[in-house]
Amino acid sequence: MKRWPLIVDPAPSAGAWNMAADEFLFSSLSDNPQTTVRFYRWARPTASLGYSQDLDRVADAAYCRANGIDTVRRITGGKLVLHHREVTYAVCSSDTEAFTETLTDSYRLISRGLMQGLARLGILASLAGPPPPEYVRGTLPCFSHPGLDEVEWEGKKIIGSAQKREGRKFLQHGSIPLERDEPLLRAVSLQDRASGGLRMGSLSEAAGRPVDFDSAVKELAAGLGEFFGVELAPRSFSPEEEAVIRRIELGRYADPGWTLRREPGPAVAFCFFG
């Protein structure tokens, strides 16, 4: 049985650190098949932008500044996500035996693995079909509609994900709300000034009881292990790895020039979901 490292961050972290840690795991992948799974939280409500998004078109930056909401730009594609009261997962892999070599297959397989974890929580979820054109082409936030092969429950998106791929190597990470906070999402995302509504679900709503971070991570990790037939072996970042992550954080994600740039460059190696 294969063993995949499982990193569960012990405490919530700033958005810049979280994105730097995911980039570190992605950049650490070798050509030898390897996979790491990570679960983490956010120290403050944080709006994350897809790699090619223009902040001014998708978020109310003034509202965020006035209300202590951080903003950060991901290296993955996709739409605006408000990270708040959630479990965030990341899967980094270069194992084509487990995930195949195609973008769509790896995305679908991870969704199915997460669905197995949801089933352990008593939540019967399903894969979503194609979203409407106005969602694909528009500036609505991630949780306004399920995307193709994303995880939904009773027609509501319950997991929103995005992926970056370079050859056989990929990073996929995503937001799994523990509780819904639609008023805050609407305020951050300019939703009141955009067409369409929100189709957002949460683990607590779907389970019919409060679900906290620790219990959700326990079952999601177990579901991934069962689905892929692997053992998830807990580990943590070493002091040396944390030093590298800190350098990535300061050099990219804590730099307003990265987060606020108005004309992002082409995203040739990036996959856009969510």
Q: Which of the residues are catalytic?
A: 142
Taking alpha carbons only, the member of 242, 259, 179, 233 closest to residue 13 is 242
Residue 226 corresponds to which tokens in the numbers above? 């069962």
| 249: phi then psi, degrees, rounded to nearest 5 | -60, -50
Residue whose token pair is 């202590």: 68
Taking alpha carbons only, the member of 186, 126, 120, 195 closest to residue 157 is 126
User: Is the backbone of residue 55 left (phi > 0), alpha (psi -120 to 50) or beta?
Assistant: alpha
Local structure of 244: helix, strand or coil? helix
User: Residue 108: in which H helix or E strand, if any?
Assistant: helix 103-120
CA distances from 149 to 31, 161, 227 (A): 27, 10, 16
For the chain, the C-alpha Rg in angstroms (whole number) is 17
SS3 for 43-78 is: CCCEEEECCCCCHHHHCCHHHHHHCCCEEEECCCCC
User: Residue 40: in which H helix or E strand, if any?
Assistant: strand 35-40
